[in-house]
Chains A and B, each alone.
Chain A
Amino acid sequence: MMVQLESGVKAGSALNTSVHLCWRDIENESGEIPAGYIAQGEGMHITLNYPMQFAFVNSCFPRFVTREGAKVWLQKQDQQLFAGECEFTQHVAFVLRHKGLMANLSMRENLMLPFACEADQQKVAMAKEKLPQVAEFLGLEKQLERQAGERSPYTHALVSLGHCLLKQASFMVVQEVDFGLSSERLQLFRDKLLQVIQGLQPGILYLSASNENPFGLQFEKHWTVDSDQTDGVSGIW
């Protein structure tokens, strides 16, 4: 069950498959996402409507972290890292539609955002060292000192990808990031995403309202979550 790229390259070979991203049943008004898991290097595409995508994503950011109440967690052999804990977000990167950056920060500060609340200064220094290289890869090197302001979904997605690269994430939760991108930018982002996947070989959980394979990624696991509501179309919420 590995992520298969369109070109036939398989990401995820020789991986530490003892790390799993797991979740319990997640319910909201419109339906229920059944419990499941993916291992590092594996890919899974869940087709579900927009409110349920956010129900899943919100379960990854609980306000109160409790062992019993946690709906999403990372299983590392005997160790469990629960959603909401710092260690969890160090391993799991989120690429959410139009939610990658903060308007009142510069692009540099935005790329360094995962390290904003990092107490370990060694990690911060390492990320700062890698930053120019990552910015160049993303094509943002000339905009680093500019205030982000209002940006396109493409730039939001690029910055999220930058977070993923800087923290060397083991898992990526991608939420309909292809939505609203022009075909040209879709291609640009696809190329960068594929390079990141080949480089990091993370586990990928792709949440979208469409059954189409996003970015030409072919996931072996594909679930469709039925909803009670009719507004399953993206963007209508």
Chain B
Amino acid sequence: MIRVLNISHINQLAERLGASVFDVWHAMVRQLTNVLLVFRVLLGFQWLSKPAVVQVVVKQIYFSGIMNLMWVVILAMSVGALMVYSLVTFARQVGDMSWVSVMIHSLLIQEVAPFIVVLLLLTRSGVAIVTEIGSMHVRGEHMTLQSVGASIEEFLFLPRLIAFALSGLILTLVFASVSVWVGGVIVSLSKLMPLSEYLFQLNQYGGLATLFVVLIKSTVYPMVTCIILLDQGSRVGIDPNQLPVRTTTGVYSSLVAVFFLEVTWIVAGLFV
């Protein structure tokens, strides 16, 4: 009896595991299809000649970028002050001030800045994306759009993807600049390190390599989260009860995807 129960339990587990693998596979195929369709529209450049699409792009950039700016600056000031102060204190204890430059570039600018910006985009604009696209599906508005010949990819997906990528890039650059400068001012005011030395140390490391990493992470991470959120919004269907479910799933999946990309980036860095 115990043996039979064990086998049925194992079978159930295997079924669940198999179903999960299929779910993940289907989700990846759907999202890849979305990416291909959106990039086809993006690279066709016809959207630039359509004022309605350009208007949606501008509105989305305003919503995701400009309206997030204040929060990014506030967070950058706090994080910059705390991190730079801690790093300089640590470097003084170790007795090697070159650590300051290495840590600021490799930790604050390359890791923390893109990650916090993507978190902000995800929690504010990302949730709005899922609920907006989901509500449109509940009301059947995706069908209204299709019935008048408007492409979902062009009218709904592309503007949000462009807004996420551009906002991600600009907000990350703002975050990095503000946090580094505020950190410098704080350590010089607290007499831990003169500002001139801080700036000198900062120039010892990084350069184009840091810029390249920031450029990639600050555009790719938001784009990946946006694709996942758009997919979740589209899956709401006609059931309004799916709105909170899809929103939560979208946010969790995006976080997992960002962590996965971060790990991939680190692992790839070990081999390059």
> A interface vs B, CB < 8 Å?
57, 60-61, 63, 86, 88-90, 94, 96, 98-103, 113-119, 124, 160, 163
Contacts and interface: CB of A to CB of B under 8 A. Distances in A.
Contacts of B52: 115-117
Nearest to B141: A102
Interface of B: 37, 46, 49-53, 135-136, 139-141, 143-151, 154-155
B46 A61 contact: no
A117 B143 contact: no
Contacts of A113: 144-145, 148, 150
A116 B50 contact: yes
Tell me whether chain B's interface is mostly helix, strand or loop, or mixed: helix
A119 B50 contact: yes
Nearest to A110: B144
Contact of B50 (A100, A102, A118, A160): A118
A86 B146 CA distance: 10
B143 A116 contact: no
A88 B149 CA distance: 8
A96 B155 contact: no
A114 B148 contact: yes
A29 to B, nearest CB: 16
Given A89-B148, A102-B136, A114-B148, A119 B49 contact: yes
B149 A103 contact: no
Contacts of A115: 52
Given A96-B147, A116-B155, A118-B50, 7 more contacts: A86-B149, A98-B140, A103-B141, A113-B144, A117-B53, A117-B151, A119-B46
Given A63-B37, A116-B50, A117-B50, A99 B147 contact: yes
Contact of B143 (A57, A90, A114): A57
Contacts of A86: 149
Given A61-B143, A98-B140, A163 B148 contact: yes
A102 B46 contact: no
A17 B259 CA distance: 60
Nearest to A94: B147
A124 B53 CA distance: 14
4 smallest beta-carbon distances between A and B, as pairs: A89-B149, A116-B52, A94-B147, A61-B146
Nearest to B135: A103
Most chain A C-beta atoms within 10 Å of own C-beta, residue among B52, B53, B135, B151: B52
